[in-house]
Every structure is written in structure tokens, then in C-alpha cells.
Structure 1
Amino acid sequence: MTLDLFAGIPVTDYPAALKWYERLLGSPPTFIASDTEAVWELAEHRYVYVEQRPEHAGHAMHTIFIEDLDTRVAQIAERGIDPAQQETYSNGVRKTTYRDPDGNEIGFGGAPL
């Protein structure tokens, strides 16, 4: 059975969010679903999307696990976005969290070094 995951991020200002997420994710959206919704495919059958829904903006919390956390964080910094928080859990797993202009949290996690 194939599963698709669509993780939604409600935003107040779609055009501003579109630009911010392009910088965070390093590419334009995979496709534009509507005038107020953009979708990025992060891996096969795994998507994140932003949608203008001001009444819900600021409450998303997503973590994306990747192989090379340090490289990803450095690439995001080169695009002008600094992390809001960096932490290492007791088991050595690391997480770097970013907050979009609405306060939605997008984290990137990685295995211990």
C-alpha cells in the first residue's frame, strides 16, 4: 500500500510565505495547487504545503529528518535564514528549528554525529 503524506502549514500572507519557504527549502514549489496554496515534494510521496488560512496561521509544528543536518543548516544560512533554536537530545539526536513570519515551526532533525 502506497501512502502519501501532506503536511500543511497555514499562513497569513501567502506571497510572503511562498518566498520564505522557497528560501528555507532551497527551491520553488513542486507545484502550485491554487492561488493560495503551494506544495513541495520533499521525498517520494512526502509533501509539505503552505496555504493561506489566516485564522489558523502560526500553529504548525513539523520536523523533517535528514541525513546531513549540518550541511542543510549551512545552506539555509546562506539563503539568509537563521535558526530559532538548536538542541541536542539525551540520545544524541539533534534538531534545528526555524520559525516562519507567522510563528509556524519547521524543524530539521538528524542522527547523532
Structure 2
Amino acid sequence: MKVIVQVCVLLALVAVAYSASSTWGVHNVTDSVIINKRVTYPAVRNVGQTFYFDIPESYQSNNKVISAIYLQDQFQNSSGPANTLVYGGPGWTYASIQMRTQTGLGLNVTFVVYGK
């Protein structure tokens, strides 16, 4: 019986690791929204695409320390990208996030970045 529980916990961890929506950090009531942006890219047939989202964006500046980054998958069937925080993030003034789409699917993600 313990083996079944351990297998279920392992599968739950794998599902969380590959979820389309991701969160890094926690925001407080004193934090303000730095970026609230929806990003969409069309699908390319039989190709898994890789996109990067940088904070601050090109030719922009950010003097606020990031406290939380939320990526919300806007597809209703959880077929969104696998997200990875490459560098920076909470506690820094910059971040870079890599998003890899599933083969043959596009990108439809909302970013919300909090900081103070």
C-alpha cells in the first residue's frame, strides 16, 4: 500500500514540474504590478517552439525588485508551454523565462510580474 502512495506522490510531482502555468515567488499587499502582459504566438505545424520573455523588456529599465512572477496558461486544456526561469527572478531587478511549446501548438500565456 505504501508503494502505491509513493508512486502517486511521484506522479503528482512530475505533473507539477511540467505544468503550463508557473509561479516564482510570492507577492505581498505592498507590491505593485510591474508587468501585466498577454503573449500569443501562432502554432507551427510539427514544430515545438522556444520563446524567451525578459524582464525588463528590450530598451526598457526596471528599478523595482521583483517579488513574484506568475505565468498563466490561457489554453483551456493545459496544453501550454513548459516554463523555466533561466536567470534572475524574485529578489532581482531582472529575469529571463524560457517557454517551450508542445509540438504543433502555439503560445498563449499571461505574465504578471510584481515588485517593489
Q: TM-score, normalised by structure 2?
A: 0.28
More helix by share: 1
User: Which structure has the greater CA radius of gyration?
Assistant: 2
